[in-house]
Amino acid sequence: MKAYIFPGQGAQFTGMGLDLYENSPLAQELFEKANNILGFSITDVMFEGTAEELKQTKVTQPAIFLHSVILAKVLGDDFKPEMVAGHSLGELSALVANGVLSFEDGLKLVSKRALAMQKACEIQPSTMAAVLGLEDAVVEEVCASIDGVVVAANYNCPGQLVISGEIEAVEKACEVLKEKGAKRALLLPVGGAFHSPMMEPAREELAAAIEETTFNEPMCPVYQNVVAKAVTNPAEIKENLIAQLTAPVRWTQCVQAMITDGGAEFVEVGPGKVLQGLMRKIDRSVAASGASLA
């Protein structure tokens, strides 16, 4: 079976989406529609902005979403997903690509998500750290033993887990994890503690917007971050999407579930090759490539 996977924050680069804009009238139309919906010219930032400008959460999330979703739409009849999944923000791209959300509704939710997360980051300083070379269970145990908020946030691939929470608690956890034999435990240059209880204000704000949005029957199952299994019921999809901001991204488990259910060919749709790299670390025997117009 063919699985399409959609990247999250961190995959952005200057010039992203320009080839789509220049080579496809449909892409051009969708990008212009996005500029109108967002109320600013995101195409200017995507095509010509600096890395610093692209890094602003209100830009990054819609930019990656647009690149992914417009690429999927431009592929036209070649885009025939039998299963989809997205990493964090990428889950919203996956939901538009498999027909659960309209392009407009998806973009509005992504924009609200970005602004709500930004606001939550400003309430209390918080951070994330990448932990390499330890078993998941060890990382979970250490997080549970630390005073303050620190949790496992992103299960990216075996031996690579991101933790998230209050700055002091994350720093303390990093020290203990190094003592436990982590190859690396280093703070990430992020604005806040995504996928942790620190995102509760953002979850509440986004929940209200999600509740008001129409969720359709999907074309194919979506393997959601929160449950790491196939979901087809729109009400369940909605519930899991609301839970996603404060719950961990179980990416390793999502991919393993897709493979178990017959996923044999994985195609990354969007900027960069982050997910293809993770695929190789999760299961080398499965084909992984990037979608392209050519």
Residues 6+ apart with CB under 8 A from 131: 139, 160, 161, 162, 163, 174, 177, 182, 184, 185
pLDDT at position 109, please? 98
Could you give the residue range(s) of every CATH 3.40.366.10 domain in the chain? 2-122+197-290
DSSP-derived 3-state class of residue 287: strand
Could you give the residue range(s) of every CATH 3.30.70.250 domain in the chain? 126-188
Point out the residues that are catalytic: 88, 195
Residues 6+ apart with CB under 8 A from 258: 3, 83, 85, 223, 266
Label residue 64 by pLDDT band (50, 70, 90).
Answer: very high
Mean pLDDT for 12-28 is 96
Asked: is 2-122+197-290 a CATH 3.40.366.10 domain? The reply is yes
pLDDT at position 292, please? 87
* Main-chain dihedrals φ then ψ at residue 108, nearest 5 degrees: -60, -40
Q: Which residue in the block uniquely carries the two structure tokens 């008001």?
A: 212
Label residue 11 by pLDDT band (50, 70, 90).
Answer: confident
pTM: 0.95
pLDDT at position 127, please? 96
pLDDT at position 58, please? 84
Which strands form 83-86's sheet, in the order they lie side by side? 230-231, 222-223, 83-86, 2-6, 265-268, 287-290
pLDDT at position 153, please? 98
Residue-wise pLDDT tens digits, 189-215: 888 999 999 999 999 999 999 999 999
Dist. CA 46–CA 54, nearest whole Å = 7
pLDDT at position 191, please? 82
Mean pLDDT for 170-175 is 98
Given a cut of 80, whether residue 294 has pLDDT beyond it is no
Tokens found for residue 245: 């901001």
pLDDT at position 253, please? 98
Given a cut of 90, whether residue 290 has pLDDT beyond it is yes
Q: The dihedral of CA 52, 132, 252, 122: what is its sign?
A: negative
Residue-wise pLDDT tens digits, 71-120: 999 999 999 999 999 999 999 999 999 999 999 999 999 999 999 999 99
Least confident of 52-61, 95-104, 255-264: 52-61
pLDDT at position 114, please? 94
Determine the angle formed by the axes of helices 90-97 and 57-74, rounding to 10 degrees: 30
CATH superfamily to which 126-188 belongs: Malonyl-CoA ACP transacylase, ACP-binding (3.30.70.250)
Of the candidates 65, 87, 61, the one whose C-alpha atom is nearest the C-alpha of residue 258 is: 87
- Looking at every residue in the chain, the average pLDDT score rounds to 96
